[in-house]
Amino acid sequence: MVIRTSFLLLLSLTLFNVAASAAEPPVRSEAVPGGIAIIDLGPANSAPVAHYRGSRVIVLPSGEGWQALVGLPLDITPGRQTLRVAGASGAQETRTFEVKEKEYEAQYITLKNTRHVNPNPDDLKRISEDQRRSRQAFAAWSDSRPDLQFRLPVEGRLSGTFGKRRFFNNQPRKPHSGIDIAAPAGSPIIAPATGRVSEVGDYFFNGRTVFIDHGQGLVTMYCHMERIDVAVGDRVERGDTIGTVGATGRVTGPHLHWTVSLNNSRVDPFLFLPTATVAALNGAN
């Protein structure tokens, strides 16, 4: 019975990934810390240029006009926000929108490797370089229109949700910036959408890691991999294998940590997945 249930779950996830409802938008709006605000920019002959908190944001056609997809960082203070918009003529205007509060759960994790909680001086030097490379990858901008029809990058069990306030060995750390999907070591990881590999590395905390630039500030990150099958500069299509699940870096077992970043703000990956896929993942726990 367990085998049959697992098979049906994986079959369901595959079907939901391959064919989401055509009526469902590829990205859902949830104007909360760690969410996405979709802002109507009105009609224009060409795409306006929009910035939020100093970062350029995705602008896409919508009906007879345009809309902006704004990633909202987890540390944002709820309340009124301002989007700066420039038209083709250079005229500047603003759009305001509200961000609501959202409370995320706490998560307590015990690690045997205490260096993953309190790194030594040599570790800190490596971490500093890791962070520099990560910041550069997340801040990337290219003008190509992003593919928003995301698939789940690996089949498995949801083991960590987005936004949790984390404590390692009872010490507070940054909130969880992605989702964790537990799967056997060696399970294939696929690109959820078309993009270009912009960074690969073996990081102190994240282990073997791949970044994919999907265009216009939409970047995804894949951590704790056992094997990496792509190189910087490679173009990947939706469904291409980029590597395998592993347990490298700061982990308690094999899983994929998947981060989605929009205008350099880490946002909930669930907002890019079909609702049926999200429901199946949540129901598997």
- pLDDT tops 70 at residue 39: yes
**How high is the pLDDT of residue 163?**
84
Q: Cβ contacts of residue 64 below 8 Å, gap of 6+?
A: 43
> Are the CB atoms for 260 and 36 separated by under 8 Å?
no
- pLDDT attached to residue 165: 73
Q: What is the pLDDT confidence band of residue 103, given thresholds at 50, 70 and 90? A: confident
Supply the pLDDT for residue 268.
96
Predicted local distance difference test score (pLDDT) of residue 262: 97
Say what the pTM is: 0.86
- Sequence-separated (6 or more) residues with CB below 8 Å from residue 236: 191, 194, 195, 196, 197, 212, 230, 242
Task: Convert the pLDDT of each residue in 44-90 to its tens digit.
Answer: 889 999 999 999 999 999 988 999 999 999 999 999 999 999 987 77
CA distance 93 to 80: 16
> Which pLDDT value is given to residue 116?
72
Longest dimension (CA), the chain: 64
Cα-only R_g, the chain = 19
- Over residues 145-199, the pLDDT tens digits come to 999 999 999 999 999 899 877 566 666 557 778 999 999 999 999 999 999 999 9
Residue 213's CB is within 10 A of a number of other CB atoms, namely 21
> What average pLDDT does this structure show over 8-28?
54
What six digits make up the tokens of 164?
A: 């949790």
pLDDT of residue 8: 43
Residue with tokens 């240029």: 49
